[in-house]
Chain A
Amino acid sequence: MSVFKHCCLMLLMAVAASAWTGASVAADAPAPAAPAVAPAAAAIAHEQLIKLVSGDGDEKLAVINALVVSGDPLAGRLLKALAEGQLQAAGSRAVIVVDDKVVDAITAEALPALAADHEEPIINNRLRREIDGALATLDLVSPLRAARLKAARALAEGADEAMQPLVAKALATEQDPEVHGLLEEIAAGMALRSDDRTVRLAAIAKLGEAGGANAKKLLLPLTVKSPDGTWTETDDMLRAAAGRSLRLIDGRLAWGERMGLLFAGISLGSVLLIAALGLAITYGLMGVINMAHGELIMIGAYATYVMQSFFKVHLSSYFDWYPLLAVPFSFIVAAAVGMVLERLVIRFLYGRPLETLLATWGISLVLIQVVRTLFGAQNVTVENPAFMSGGVSLLTNLVLPWNRIVIIVFAFVVLGSVALVLTRTRMGLFVRAVTQNRSMASCVGVATARIDTWAFGLGCGIAGLAGCALSQIGNVGPELGQGYIVDSFMVVVLGGVGQLAGTVYAAMGLGFANKLLEAWSGAVLAKIAVLIFIIVFIQRRPQGMFALKGRALDA
């Protein structure tokens, strides 16, 4: 923006802001404004809005800024319509189009349908950023605290300097300490460009005290040299102050990064845990090398997809609740498939690991092809329910995504339930008895064949639950399971066959190791390093981290 234009805008905004303080906004505002620059402070005119639709980038920005400072109550509605692409130009009249209904943009009077030659606005990122900033600025004076807080947070991410008078205005009237703090930070960011040295020093100190990543972005240019070797900031004292503030900010950001890494490790660990838990039963306890485990995860994910589609069509108003039904549904479907497999194929192969491996691998190919035939080769969309989108912001640079938090909790709930089933129920007792000593269990009257089916079904059902969880963070396609089968075996073998606790430690350990190495050396090397570690570990300790002692599992 040219200096001249900038000055004009500032002047205009100062005028408009002062006008705004008056009780009657529209009546006395327009008089002092220079009409040649922008008639914004008067009523909003069609020509302006047409510019929003078909003007070039700078023109659009000028109109947006003018709209905001005009204080016109229509401004918010118009900007929202622009952001949604609803504001369109029909000849010399700006209109808002919602679902084929056309209304005049200013008077809201209903109009006939548009001719084919109407013009739709091109909204690019630059414009969208300005609109967001403008809407946030308008919200700064909202009577609702939540709206003001949200607006201040949005502006703290980076605010247009043209909004300075409005921020100053909001700062003067703001009572809430949290919003006030944020506003001070925003104002400090803007004051960095001031001509007054003390103002700048104070701003730098303020940013150092409270600022986050955005403050760093603002301060950095003060401390670097331009390409010709001179400091971009000539004032030594300011530069030193900026350096101090940057160190403070970096210290705070480093904490956020460490916490983020920790969370990423737990999150990956919980994904590995839930993917491997089913296998810990079918392979770990029962000794079936189940290469179709990944496909059972995939079936669980598709069951979730089916349930989600059902809700979308028949119960769309309760869409957010679909996981409540999708969780049991995916368990039941995967468990049913697993039990049928056990009855038809696997039971004839107990004690013949190589044949089991080949047979289950064949089954996995069959299952992939069946799903491909039923649902097509392409990935299907599983939408997150609204409460699993977005994240909770803990520090300025630490956002914990809801879907990952939910999966961590879900993984441990499933783990707890499995542990309870295995240790506290009659069936769990039978399962343990059969897996530890089949003939003795049979002797005392346990129906071992039926228990095998139930146990295999349980393992597969848990794989289905994993599919339900994984559908929320990744792709759902016929090959979904292939990506998890290696990881699952890795976790179970590393943890020690026959041990639930081992699976938990192995999953968490691998999750952390992977994330730490990834931060340090990149994703490709991290994956290689983890695999090498596992190869070496299994060579040194083939029984895994935790092995059952004694003769129990030799049978």
Chain B
Amino acid sequence: MKRRQILKTLTLAVSAALVGSVPQQVFAQAKTVKVGVLHSLSGTMAISETVLKDVALMAFDEINAKGGVMGYKIEPVVVDPASNWPLFAEKARQLLTQDKVAATFGCWTSVSRKSVLPVYEELNGLLFYPVQYEGEELSKNVFYTGAAPNQQAIPAVEYLMSKEGGGAKRWVLLGTDYVYPRTTNKILRAFLKSKGVDEKDIDEVYTPFGHSDYQTIVANIKKFAAGGKTAVVSTINGDSNVPFYKELGNQGLKATDVPVVAFSVGEEELRGVDTKPLVGHLAAWNYFMSLKNPVNDAFKAKWAAYAKAKKLPGADKPLTNDPMEATYIGIYMWKQAVEKAKTFDVDPVIAAVGGQTFAAPSGFTAMMDAKNHHLHKPVFIGEVKADGQFNVVWKSKGPIKAQPWSPYIPGNDVKKDEPDGKSKV
């Protein structure tokens, strides 16, 4: 009996405390709008996605400090889909039906995006997706603030073909075995062929997830490179990159002989890597932390201060990267669109996002295309420096319009460059 009594009292106390605290919050900020953050905070993708959650919260704080969106304070709802693709769909449904969020910022891998897509279309939600991806998708309910293949992969390959980039004649397309590398390589293969590269001068190699023994692959690259000036296009995912680059260094394959350009390796991924053997290898992104311009300086300073104030892991060496920039742009574009539409309702906001501009940390003004839900972004190609930062060796003349339907995949020429209300996938 006694135990039950204690339990009762405890329960009462706790619920009283909860009841006491909740209304206080509500009364303190009378007008709030809920916004979802859907990033894996545990599991394999936590390494990359955790910082996106943090940068989103930073942006919300910043907006709230300046009076919120149309006078409404943003109230973030952070959920953890735990790198589990079906869980992404469940959490998305929860955000839309229970929390009734006005917009969601989230997802990293293409497979997670594909799994939440039907939910957002069914419930007419609004998702901002901040990561470079393979294209071949266009949904009315999604805005893509990362790069499409023509804003990352194609310029990188063109650079390697140029004299400055080394004039590569033979190509190794190396990737992890899943949808993003397979599709990207399909596009690249068609692109290379259109540039007159012979079938026998392209080698496509895939490894399983988490592959860690790259001896044979590096030896094969060496053998392949004996047939002419070779470049490697790597879509290797996540931390498999570390053993790959280590093996490259140890087997004496230097960036000056066989440059490797990677699409999934950024500042954050290089954090856990000894970068000395990697110097000179390349990455293509729409933003690098090392870019020198006032907007980026301010962005980096804000992030460093935020990371320190919140005692985030790695705050002693705060890093910014491309998907963080894309998240930040997405949040501000949503804010501007809401203010233009003068409502949080999804359909007017979607109509208002097109054509929004934002002075991005890349130093250029990013613009959301009026129709195709993708950003016009500049492209940068950087070489890894010994300190894990990138030295920009090439940049596009200005922002480039995204082509979600790559012209190098047959059948795409008839597809319309705007969503028709439902996904075409």
Q: Do A and B make up one complex?
A: yes
A contact residues vs B (CB 8 Å cutoff) = 57, 122-126, 128-129, 132, 157-158, 213-214, 216-217, 220, 227, 253, 257, 260-261, 263-264, 267-268, 271, 376-384, 389-391, 393, 397, 399, 401-404, 473-477, 479, 483, 514-515, 518-519, 522-524, 527
Interface flags for B222-262 (1: CB within 8 Å of A; 0: not) read 11011111000000000100110011011110011101000
Residues on B with C-beta less than 8 A from A264 are 213, 215-216, 219
Once the chains are docked, how many angstroms separate the CA of A268 from the CA of B44?
Answer: 24
In the complex, are the beta carbons of A475 and B216 less than 8 A apart?
no
Once the chains are docked, how many angstroms separate the CA of A217 from the CA of B393?
Answer: 27
The reply to whether the CB of B210 lies closer than 8 angstroms to some CB of chain A is yes
Q: Which listed residue (A216, A382, A403) contacts B226, Cβ 8 A? A: A216
The reply to whether the CB of B75 lies closer than 8 angstroms to some CB of chain A is no
Once the chains are docked, how many angstroms separate the CA of A473 from the CA of B229?
Answer: 28
Once the chains are docked, how many angstroms separate the CA of A475 from the CA of B271?
Answer: 11
In the complex, are the beta carbons of A379 and B243 less than 8 A apart?
no
Residues on B with C-beta less than 8 A from A473 are 212, 243, 246
Contacts A132-B256, A217-B227, A378-B272; A523 near B249 (Cβ below 8 A): no
Residues on A with C-beta less than 8 A from B213 are 264, 268, 271, 514
In the complex, are the beta carbons of A257 and B223 less than 8 A apart?
yes
Q: Which listed residue (A214, A379, A384, A401) contacts B271, Cβ 8 A? A: A379
Interface-centre pick from A391, A519, A523, A527 (highest chain B CB count, 10 A): A523
Q: Which residue of A lies closest to B394 (CB)?
A: A124
In the complex, are the beta carbons of B242 and A475 less than 8 A apart?
yes
Residues on B with C-beta less than 8 A from A216 are 226-227
The reply to whether the CB of B186 lies closer than 8 angstroms to some CB of chain A is no
**Further 10 A-B residue pairs, CB within 8 A, beyond A217-B227, A217-B228:** A125-B383, A126-B163, A213-B225, A214-B226, A379-B239, A381-B271, A389-B277, A404-B250, A515-B216, A523-B217
Nearest Cβ in chain A — how far from B245, in angstroms? 11
In the complex, are the beta carbons of A389 and B250 less than 8 A apart?
yes
- Residues of B in contact (CB 8 Å), total 58
Once the chains are docked, how many angstroms separate the CA of A384 from the CA of B219?
Answer: 21
In the complex, are the beta carbons of B272 and A379 less than 8 A apart?
yes
Residues on B with C-beta less than 8 A from A253 are 223, 226
Residues on B with C-beta less than 8 A from A477 are 47, 239, 272
In the complex, are the beta carbons of A381 and B274 less than 8 A apart?
yes
A-B contact pairs, 7 of them (CB 8 A): A125-B255, A125-B259, A257-B223, A378-B271, A390-B250, A401-B247, A473-B243
The reply to whether the CB of B391 lies closer than 8 angstroms to some CB of chain A is yes
Residues on A with C-beta less than 8 A from B164 are 57, 124, 126
Contacts A264-B216, A477-B239; A213 near B222 (Cβ below 8 A): yes
Nearest Cβ in chain B — how far from A140, in angstroms? 19
Once the chains are docked, how many angstroms separate the CA of A473 from the CA of B214?
Answer: 10
In the complex, are the beta carbons of A213 and B226 less than 8 A apart?
yes
Contacts A122-B391, A379-B47, A401-B250; A475 near B243 (Cβ below 8 A): yes
Within 8 A of A (CB), among B358-400: 383, 391-393
Interface flags for B338-371 (1: CB within 8 Å of A; 0: not) read 0000000000000000000000000000000000
Contacts A260-B219, A379-B272, A380-B272; A524 near B177 (Cβ below 8 A): yes
B contact residues vs A (CB 8 Å cutoff) = 42, 44, 46-47, 50, 163-166, 177, 196, 205-208, 210-213, 215-217, 219-220, 222-223, 225-229, 239, 242-243, 246-247, 249-252, 255-257, 259, 271-274, 276-277, 280, 282, 313-314, 383, 391-393
Nearest Cβ in chain B — how far from A518, in angstroms? 5
Residues on B with C-beta less than 8 A from A527 are 208
Q: Which residue of A lies closest to B225 (CB)?
A: A213
In the complex, are the beta carbons of B211 and A523 less than 8 A apart?
yes
In the complex, are the beta carbons of A483 and B274 less than 8 A apart?
no
Nearest Cβ in chain A — how far from B125, in angstroms? 28
Contacts A483-B212, A518-B216; A402 near B250 (Cβ below 8 A): yes
Q: Which listed residue (A129, A220, A377, A522) contacts B206, Cβ 8 A? A: A522
Contacts A257-B219, A383-B274, A475-B243; A399 near B252 (Cβ below 8 A): yes
Nearest Cβ in chain A — how far from B46, in angstroms? 5
Once the chains are docked, how many angstroms separate the CA of A519 from the CA of B205?
Answer: 11
In the complex, are the beta carbons of A391 and B252 less than 8 A apart?
yes
Contacts A399-B252, A404-B250, A483-B210; A267 near B163 (Cβ below 8 A): no
Once the chains are docked, how many angstroms separate the CA of A404 from the CA of B216?
Answer: 13
Residues on A with C-beta less than 8 A from B271 are 378-379, 381
Once the chains are docked, how many angstroms separate the CA of A391 from the CA of B222?
Answer: 15
In the complex, are the beta carbons of A122 and B393 less than 8 A apart?
yes
Residues on B with C-beta less than 8 A from A217 are 226-229
Residues on A with C-beta less than 8 A from B222 are 213, 397
Once the chains are docked, how many angstroms separate the CA of A527 from the CA of B176?
Answer: 14
Interface-centre pick from A268, A378, A518, A519 (highest chain B CB count, 10 A): A378
Q: Which residue of A lies closest to B217 (CB)?
A: A523
Once the chains are docked, how many angstroms separate the CA of A263 from the CA of B196?
Answer: 37
Once the chains are docked, how many angstroms separate the CA of A393 from the CA of B391?
Answer: 31
Once the chains are docked, how many angstroms separate the CA of A128 from the CA of B255?
Answer: 9
Once the chains are docked, how many angstroms separate the CA of A528 from the CA of B313?
Answer: 38
In the complex, are the beta carbons of B242 and A474 less than 8 A apart?
yes
Closest 4 CB pairs of A and B: A379-B272, A401-B250, A376-B313, A129-B256
Once the chains are docked, how many angstroms separate the CA of A397 from the CA of B252?
Answer: 10
Residues on B with C-beta less than 8 A from A474 are 212, 242-243
Residues on B with C-beta less than 8 A from A523 are 205-208, 211, 216-217
Interface-centre pick from B242, B250, B383 (highest chain A CB count, 10 A): B250
Once the chains are docked, how many angstroms separate the CA of A383 from the CA of B276?
Answer: 10
Once the chains are docked, how many angstroms separate the CA of A382 from the CA of B242?
Answer: 11
Q: Which listed residue (B177, B205, B215, B280) contacts A267, Cβ 8 A? A: B215
Residues on B with C-beta less than 8 A from A381 are 271-274
Once the chains are docked, how many angstroms separate the CA of A142 from the CA of B108?
Answer: 54
Nearest Cβ in chain B — how far from A90, in angstroms? 17
Q: Which listed residue (A124, A267, A514) contacts B383, Cβ 8 A? A: A124
In the complex, are the beta carbons of A128 and B280 less than 8 A apart?
yes
Residues on A with C-beta less than 8 A from B282 are 125
Residues on A with C-beta less than 8 A from B383 are 123-125
Once the chains are docked, how many angstroms separate the CA of A479 from the CA of B210?
Answer: 10
Once the chains are docked, how many angstroms separate the CA of A522 from the CA of B176?
Answer: 12
Nearest Cβ in chain B — how far from A70, in angstroms? 23
Residues on A with C-beta less than 8 A from B277 are 389
Residues on B with C-beta less than 8 A from A479 are 44
Q: Which residue of B lies closest to A391 (CB)?
A: B250
Interface-centre pick from B216, B274, B391, B392 (highest chain A CB count, 10 A): B216
Once the chains are docked, how many angstroms separate the CA of A476 from the CA of B242?
Answer: 10
Q: Which listed residue (A220, A404, A475) contacts B239, Cβ 8 A? A: A475
Residues on A with C-beta less than 8 A from B217 are 518, 523
In the complex, are the beta carbons of A390 and B252 less than 8 A apart?
yes
Q: Which residue of B lies closest to A393 (CB)?
A: B252
Once the chains are docked, how many angstroms separate the CA of A397 from the CA of B224?
Answer: 12
In the complex, are the beta carbons of B216 and A524 less than 8 A apart?
no
Once the chains are docked, how many angstroms separate the CA of A524 from the CA of B330?
Answer: 37
In the complex, are the beta carbons of A157 and B257 less than 8 A apart?
yes
Once the chains are docked, how many angstroms separate the CA of A511 from the CA of B42?
Answer: 32
